[in-house]
Amino acid sequence: MKIRTVQADPSGNVTLFVLDPVEPQQRRKLNEELLASDSSIEQVGCLSMVEGQPKVDMMGGEFCGNATRSAGAYALHVLGEKERDFQVTCSGCDKPLPVHARKVRENNYQASVELPPPLSLSRRSLSYDRESVECQEIVLPGITHYVHFTLNVDEIDQDEFFYSLQREISRGPEPEAYGLMLVEISTLKVIPIVYVTATGTLYHEKSCGSGSAAVAAALAQRQKRSVGSSLLEPGGRIDIEAYWKDDQITGMAIGGPVKLGEVKTLDV
C-alpha cells in the first residue's frame, strides 16, 4: 500500500500525518510500522480536509493539541497564504477548535489553538519512592493529564514515577489516553510522558500540547487567576494560557513554532 505523508515538528513533538484514508482496523498496525521506520517520530495521525477545514484522526483515537495546531499550519501551507484562522477537528474532541496559523518563513510557522476548559480538575495521590505524592488530575476531551509540581525535576525517576501513576490508574477504568507532566515550579521546565491505551504505546515526548494546556490549568487553579507563560520542554518552547473568571477556568490556549517537511510517498 502506498501512502502520502508529511512530517510536522511542533516544538519537537514530531508528528507524521498520513494524507490518505486509512481504515480504523488498519491503524494500529500502520502506526507500529511508521513509528518503527523512523525513531524521530513520536506520533502518527491521519490528516484530511473537510469542506476547507483540517480534520485529524490520531491513530489511537486520542486528542492531541500539537497535532491540532500543526494541522492548521499544514492547511495554511497548502493554501499558500500568510495567515489564517481555521476550525480544526481532532479525534477525542467532539467539536472543532479555533487554530490561528501564521507563516514565518519557508516551511516554518507559528500556530496556536484555543481549547475548552477542563472537563474536571481534582487531586490524585499515589505512592512513589515509599512516599505519598500528589498530582493534579486534569480531564480533557480525549486525554487525561496528571500534573506533578516539584522543586527539581531532574531528581525524579521518570519511569518509576509514571509506573506508580499507572498502577494507581489501573485500579479503575483506564482513560483512552493519559499523560504525566512533571513540572519544575521555579523554572517551568517540563518532562512530558504520554500513554495511549488503544495502541498500547508509551511516549517520552519532546513536547505535549494537551499536557501543556493541563499545566496551564493546574497553574491557574493553584493561583486562582488567569495565567500566561512559556514551558521549557525537551523539544523546545510551548506558550500557554489559561483564563480564569468567576472562580473557574473558562478556557485555555497553547502555541509555538511548527516546522513542516516535504510530502513523501511511502510503500508500507
pLDDT band at 206 (very low <50, low <70, confident <90, very high): very high
User: Domain check: are 249 and 129 in the same one?
Assistant: yes
Do residues 238 and 129 share a domain? yes
CATH code of 153's domain: 3.10.310.10
Residues 261, 250 share a domain = no
**Residue found under cell 476548559:** 117
Per-residue pLDDT of 11-24, as tens digits, reads 999 999 999 999 88
The residues pairing with 55 across neighbouring beta strands, listed in sequence order, are 48, 89
Average pLDDT (25-43) is 91
Model pLDDT for residues 108-119, shown as the tens digit of each residue = 999 999 999 999
pLDDT of residue 201: 86
One domain, residues 42 and 15: yes
Distance CA 119, CA 59 (A): 23
pTM: 0.89
- d(CA 87, CA 81) in angstroms, rounded, equals 16
Q: Are residues 52 and 127 in the same domain?
A: no
pLDDT in tens, 83-98: 999 999 999 898 999 9
pLDDT for position 255? 97
For residues 91 and 156, state if they share a domain. Answer: no
Mean pLDDT, rounded, for 209-233: 96
Are 132 and 186 in a shared domain? yes
Round to whole Å and give the CA distance between 202 and 179. Answer: 9
Tell me whether strands 131-140 and 120-128 are parallel, antiparallel or unpaired. antiparallel
Mean pLDDT (the chain) is 94
Same domain? For 86 and 194 the reply is: no
139 lies in which domain range?
Answer: 120-254
- Whether the per-residue pLDDT at 192 is higher than 90: the answer is yes
Position 130 scores a pLDDT of 86
Query: Do both 107 and 151 map to the same domain?
Result: no
Co-location of 93 and 27 in the same domain: yes
Q: Is there a single domain that holds both residue 33 and residue 130? A: no
The CA distance from 230 to 215, in Å, is 11
- Report residue 32 as a C-alpha cell: 507500529
Number of domains in the chain: 2
Q: 228 and 134, same structural domain?
A: yes
Residue 149's pLDDT band, with cuts at 50, 70 and 90, is: very high
26-32 CB contacts, 8 Å cutoff, 24+ apart: 27/59, 27/60, 28/59, 28/60, 28/198, 28/199, 30/3, 30/59, 30/268, 31/59, 31/60, 31/199, 31/201, 32/199
